[in-house]
Structure 1
C-alpha cells in the first residue's frame, strides 16, 4: 500500500504529464525509488522530497502539502529565526538509517585506521603528495558551486598537499571531486587519507565515506545497485530486510547516506571509457569522489563529457627535495664509505648535469609507488644497496628500473621481512603469480576467497567439483553401508557407482547455477538463529525452493538410474525390466528428492538472520562466519531431509495405490524408507555444503583442488595473511588486493612467461 505521499506524488506526476523516467531526468531520483514511493509504504528523506517537488514545478502551497505528506514541515519564511520554527517531523525509517550509518562509520573508521598503519603511510613521514586544479577537466564553476553569478574571487583554490585533502574537498559545494594522476602517483593513498580525515570529523547523520574499487563495476549494472551490493559484501550486517523488501545497504545508498569514494575509474573491465562516465553523469545529484589515471579520464571526457558538477585536481610529480626529505629517514644504514645509504643516489639526482643513469632514476622516482618499492627493497633489506640503481648497463631505461623494483619486491620481503620463514620466496612468487593470473583472467583486482577456482574453464570446474563430491559421498556411503548392512563387496561396488553418479549430478548442478547466477557463489551474509526477525523476504521462498528442487531432481535422477542399473546387474534382471524400473523409479525419486530438497531449503530461511554489522571485519572473519553458517544449515538440512523424503515417498505411494490395478502394485517398506531418508540426508546436506555454497566452493577449490595441482599452498588462508602482513597484498573490506595494479600485472606476466596456467 502506498503512503499518502506516494499517492500524492503519483497524482501530481500524472497531472504534470510526466513519466517516471522523465521525472528521474528532472529530479535525479532513480526510477526505482519513484516507483517504490508510489506503490509501497516508503517515505523519502527531506532532501529527496524537496527535489521531487521542485522537479514537478509545484506552487508553494502544493510543495508544502507534498512535504507534509512525507512527514516534514516547510521551512520558515525568510527572516524568521530558524530556532523559533517548529521542529521537523522525521519518519521512523530515517532515524533507523542514521543509526545504521553511524554504526557503519565506526566500522569503516577502525578498518581504514588499521590499513593506514599497515601500509606505512605515516612511517616515517608521509611522502609529499601534492596536486593542482585541473580546470580543463572540471565542470563549469557555476555548476560546481551552484551559482550563476560568480567573480574570480568566488572560485576556490583547490591546490594542496596530502594533509589538506579533506579541507579541499569541503570547498566543493557539489561534493563531486575527480582525483587524477599517473600510475603509482598516490591516488589511492590520497583517497584513503580523504576517507580517514572525513571520518575523524564526521557528525551523526552525515554521509559515510566508503571506498569502492570501481574496477569491478559493470556499467550495464545500475550504479546504486552495485554500490549496495559492494556494501553488503563488505558489511553483511547491512543485509537486514526493510518493510519494502529492500536491504538496509540499498536504503543507505538510495538516501545518500553514503559518500562513494570510487577508486580506479581507469580499471573498469573491458577498457570502457564513454559508457561509465555517461552512467555516472546520470547521478548528477549524488556526491562522489572519483580517482583515475589522467590519460584514461581525458579520453573518456573527449568521447563524452566531464563529470557533471565535479571539480578536478591532478597529482604532481615528486621532486628531488621530496626524496631528500623522505628516503634518508627510512633507514639508519650507511654505504661502504660510511655515508648515509641513500647519499650516492641523492647526490646524483641533485646534480645539474646528471648522467644517463641519473636521468633514468629521476624519471622513475617521480611517483610514490616506485619510491615505496625502492624503500622496501633497499632500506628494509640489510644487504641491498640502492647505489646499484646507477648502473647504466643494467638499467638503460626507466622501464628496466621499474621492472627491477617490481620483480624484487616479493623475493625481498619473503627473505628479509619475516623472522620465521613459512613460505620459500620462489614458491611464494609462483603462488602469487597464479593469484595475479587468476585475477587478470577474471578482469578484476579484488581477490575474494570465494572466487578462487572461478577462472578455470567451466568443464574443468564441473569435473573437479564432481570428483570432490564423489569422494565425499563415497565416505558417507561407506559409513552408512557399514552401519546398516556390514561390508558387502557387491553392495560396496554398487555404492561406488551411485556415489560417482550423485557427485556428477551435484557437480552439474554447481556448473548450471554458476552459469546462470555468475561465476561464484557469494557468501550469504546470514547466520542461523532460532530467535529474532526473519531475514529472507517471502518472495525469496519460491526462488529458494526452485534451487533446492533443481539440485534434488538431479540427485534423485542420478541415484535412481544408477541404483536400478546396479540392482539389475546384481539380480540378473533382463534389460526390459531394468529399463522400466529406471524409467519409473528414477522419475519418482527425482520428484521426491526435488520436493524434499526444495521444501527443506526454503524452510531453512525461517532461522536465517543477518550478521551483526561488526561481526565480520576481514576475509578470515567472513570465512569463519560462512563455515559456521553452512555447517549449522547442514545440521538442520540433514534431519529435515531424513524426515521429508520418506514422508513424501509414503504419501506418493498411498496416492498411487488408489490407481486401478492395471497400473501395477505399489508397496512401501519402512526400512527402505529409512535407508532412502538417510541417503537423502547424507547426500543432500553434503551436496549443498560442498556444491551449492560459497564456503563449499572455497573448500573444494581453495583448500583442495588448487593446492593439489600445485597452484596454491595447502595453507591458503595463512599464505594470504602472510602476504598481507609482508605488504604484497592489501585489504579492502573482506577481500584482498595486490599492493598495486602494476604489481599484479607484473606477477601475472611472469607466471605466464614461465609456462604456467
Structure 2
C-alpha cells in the first residue's frame, strides 16, 4: 500500500486521539481517568506490538516468496501462452494464411553492421514465412525487430504468432513476450516502462494491487528486461505522438533491451524520417501481399467435397494472379472477409467477379460481412456503428467494460448524476414508502383523511424531488471532481476504477467476520472499563461488533489473486459485481444497525439509515461495476445497444468482429472500425 493510501486511517486515528484527549481533559476526574487510560493504553500497545511483529514476519515471508522474479516470469509465460492460444483460435490463426516477409527496402533500418554487431556485414537479407519469425528474431544478436506492412497485411496476427512462438521456445532466463496495443499508451502521464508495467498489471491481475506478485514485481520484471514488449500498431497512435513514442522506445531499447514493433509501412517511414534515427539495432522486415494461389488455397480449405461454389472465383485467382479480384484479395483482412461473407451454403462467391475495381470488391465484402454473421444485421450494424463512432471521438479508447462509461457525453458528470438520482430514489423508497403504505392502509383517525390519490401524488412529488436533488448534487460532485483532476493536471485514469477480482470462500469470510465482531466487542469493553459510569449493554456491544464487521468486510474481504487462467471480460465483470454487492450489503446493513442503535428517536433513526445508504454509495459501491451498469442503462435507454451489453460484446468476439486483448475488447481490425464509423 502506497503512502497516499494511508491518509484515511491516519486522519481517523488523529481525530480519535484528539477526541480522547479532549474527553480526558474536560473531566472532573481527569487524573484518575488519565491513569486508567494509561494502563489500558499500555496493555493495548503491548498486544498491538506483538500483533505487528507477527504480521511483519508473515509479510516478510510472503514478500520473499512472491518477489521471486524468475517464478513471476514463469507465471507470466504460462498466462501469455494460454491467453494467446485461445485468442489465436478465435481469430482462425491455427491455420494462418501463407504470407511471406523479407527485409524491407525502405530507408528505415540501421545499417546491417549495427544490426548484426559486426562491421564486416554490408548487407542483411532476411526472409521467410510468418511462422518463421520467431526463429529469425532469436537469431538476431540485438533481439530487436520491426514488422511493417500495408493496411490489413496481417501485422497483428504476425505479432500474435511471434509472441506465441517465442513463449513456447522460451528458455530459462529468457524474457516473456507481452503483446501490447500502443494506442492505449498515454504518453503525457506515463513513461514507457511505467505504461508497460501498468498494462501488465491490468491484463494479468496476478500482478495487480491484490495479486500474489503485485505491481512492484511487474515493474521489476520490466526494468530488469525480463519482459519482451511486443508493441502493436504504432500507426494507431495519434500522428503528433508517433515521433515522441519512437524516441521514448528508442531510449529504452538503446540499452540492449529486446523489442518487437509493428506499424504500417508508410507511417513508420514517415516517423523515422522525422525522428532522423532508426530504433536501436532493430532489423526491419516487411510483410508481403497474399499471393493469389495462397488466397485460393485458404478460401477452399475446409470446404466440403462437392461444394463447387468457390470454383469460379478460385479459377479467376489462379488464371489471373494480377487481376482485379487477386489485387483486392491481396491482404489477409480481405481474404478473411471473403471467407466469412461467403461461408454459408446459400451464398455465391462469384458475385465478386462482377465488381470492376479492387475498391468495389472491398466495399462489397464489407457490406456482406455482417449479414453473414447476424440474422438481424441492420440492427447489429447500427450498434457497431454507434460504438465505433464513440471510440473515434476518444482516440486511444477501447471497449474495456470498466472504461465504457468514458464513451458517454460528459462521462464523469453524467455518471455521478445518475448515481445521485439512484441514491435519492433508494433513500426515499426506504424512508417514505413505509409511510405511504401505512397512510393508505391505516389512516390517522384524528385527522381528516386525504384521498388515496392525493397521497400517491404527494409521495410521487417527493420521490421526483429526491431524484432531481440527488441528480443535481451528484452531477455537481462529479463535475467538481473532474475539474479538480484537470486543474491539478492529474491523469484521468484516477477517475477510472479498475475491476476487483476474487472473493474469499465462505469459511474465510466467517473467520474474518468473527474476528471483526470480537474486535468490536473488545473495543466496547475497553471503553466501558475506562469509564465505570458506562453500564454494559448488549445493544451497544452489538453495535460496535457490527461496526467492526463493516470495517473488516471493506478492508479484508478481497483476497490475494492467484490467477491460473487469463482474465476474461465477463469473468472480471462478475467478480467485481460479486464483491460490490457483498460489501455493499454488509456495509448498509451494518452501518444502519450501528447508527440506529445510537438513538431511540424515529426521525434520527431514519436519518441514520439515510447516512448508511450514502456511505455505502460513496465507498464500496463506488466501483467499476456500478459505472458499467450506468453506461449500459443509458445506451439501452436510447436504443444504442442491447440491455445485455456484455453478452453482445461476447457474441461479437465469438463471431470475430471483436478481438480480445487481456481483459478488454477491441474491433478486430482498425479498418473494420473505420468502416462502421463511416470514416
How far has the Cα of 1:508 moved from its partner? 3.2
Aligned to 1:708: 637
Secondary structure in structure 2 of the residue aligned to 1:210? strand
Distance 1:333 1:138, change over 3 A: same
Matching residue within 538, 549, 561 for 1:611: 561
- Structure 1: how far apart are the matches of 2:397 and 2:100? 26
Aligned to 1:133: 103
How far has the Cα of 1:232 moved from its partner? 1.7
How far has the Cα of 1:277 moved from its partner? 0.8
1:131–1:315 contact (8 Å) kept in structure 2: yes
2:352–2:364 contact (8 Å) kept in structure 1: no
Deviations 1:267-288 (A, max 9, x none): 0135532111111111022211
Give the aligned length.
548
2:428–2:466 contact (8 Å) kept in structure 1: no
- Structure 1: how far apart are the matches of 2:237 and 2:651? 28
Distance 1:389 1:176, change over 3 A: same
Aligned runs of 1:45-444 on 2, under 5 Å? 96-122=68-94, 125-134=95-104, 136-147=107-118, 149-151=119-121, 157-220=125-188, 221-240=190-209, 247-283=216-252, 284-285=254-255, 286-304=257-275, 305-332=277-304, 340-351=308-319, 359-378=323-342, 380-391=343-354, 395-415=355-375, 424-444=376-396
2:159–2:232 contact (8 Å) kept in structure 1: yes
Secondary structure in structure 1 of the residue aligned to 2:374? helix
Deviations 1:629-665 (A, max 9, x none): 2223323432564477689xx8xxxxxxxxxxxxxxx
- Structure 2: how far apart are the matches of 1:332 and 1:316? 30
Q: TM-score, normalised by structure 1?
A: 0.66
Deviations 1:547-605 (A, max 9, x none): xxxxxxxxxxxxxxxxxxxxxxxxxxxxxxxxxxxxxxxxxxxxxxxxxx9xx899944
Secondary structure in structure 2 of the residue aligned to 1:381? coil
Aligned to 1:732: 661
With 135-144 and 708-717 compared, the bigger mean Cα shift is at 135-144
- Structure 1: how far apart are the matches of 2:346 and 2:213? 63
How far has the Cα of 1:186 moved from its partner? 1.0
How far has the Cα of 1:486 moved from its partner? 5.7
Secondary structure in structure 2 of the residue aligned to 1:111? helix
2:405–2:415 contact (8 Å) kept in structure 1: no
- Structure 2: how far apart are the matches of 1:675 and 1:107? 50
Q: 1:454 aligned to 2:394?
A: no
- Structure 1: how far apart are the matches of 2:666 and 2:140? 30
Q: 1:518 aligned to 2:492?
A: yes
- Structure 2: how far apart are the matches of 1:245 and 1:717? 28
Which consecutive residues of structure 1, in runs of 5 or more, have no partner in the other structure?
Answer: 1-90, 416-423, 533-596, 651-667, 751-757
1:463–1:507 contact (8 Å) kept in structure 2: yes
Q: Which has the higher contact order (CA 8 A, sep 6+)?
A: 2
- Structure 1: how far apart are the matches of 2:607 and 2:314? 78
- Structure 2: how far apart are the matches of 1:746 and 1:453? 23
How far has the Cα of 1:327 moved from its partner? 2.4
- Structure 2: how far apart are the matches of 1:166 and 1:291? 14
Q: 1:685 aligned to 2:616?
A: yes
Distance 1:326 1:246, change over 3 A: closer
Q: 1:698 aligned to 2:628?
A: yes
How far has the Cα of 1:324 moved from its partner? 3.4
Which consecutive residues of structure 2, in runs of 5 or more, have no partner in the other structure?
Answer: 1-62, 440-454, 486-490, 510-546
Secondary structure in structure 1 of the residue aligned to 2:315? helix
- Structure 2: how far apart are the matches of 1:397 and 1:101? 50
Distance 1:491 1:396, change over 3 A: closer
Aligned to 2:417: 466
Aligned to 1:36: none
- Structure 2: how far apart are the matches of 1:464 and 1:144? 52
Aligned to 2:674: 745
1:218–1:268 contact (8 Å) kept in structure 2: no
- Structure 2: how far apart are the matches of 1:247 and 1:646? 43
Matching residue within 619, 622, 627 for 2:572: 622
- Structure 2: how far apart are the matches of 1:257 and 1:312? 23
How far has the Cα of 1:173 moved from its partner? 1.8
How far has the Cα of 1:412 moved from its partner? 1.0
Deviations 1:167-212 (A, max 9, x none): 0010112121100001111111111111111121223442211110
- Structure 1: how far apart are the matches of 2:245 and 2:558? 36
1:334–1:341 contact (8 Å) kept in structure 2: no
Secondary structure in structure 1 of the residue aligned to 2:605? helix
- Structure 2: how far apart are the matches of 1:730 and 1:740? 8
Deviations 1:118-163 (A, max 9, x none): 21123xx42111110126322233433344x4345xx765211122
Aligned to 1:86: none
2:212–2:562 contact (8 Å) kept in structure 1: no
- Structure 2: how far apart are the matches of 1:426 and 1:244? 46
1:506–1:687 contact (8 Å) kept in structure 2: no
Q: 1:676 aligned to 2:607?
A: yes
- Structure 2: how far apart are the matches of 1:721 and 1:331? 27
How far has the Cα of 1:609 moved from its partner? 3.7
CA RMSD after TM alignment? 3.3
Secondary structure in structure 1 of the residue aligned to 2:145? strand
1:138–1:312 contact (8 Å) kept in structure 2: yes
Secondary structure in structure 1 of the residue aligned to 2:301? helix
Secondary structure in structure 2 of the residue aligned to 1:121? coil
Distance 1:602 1:301, change over 3 A: farther
How far has the Cα of 1:224 moved from its partner? 1.0
How far has the Cα of 1:218 moved from its partner? 2.5
Aligned to 1:718: 647
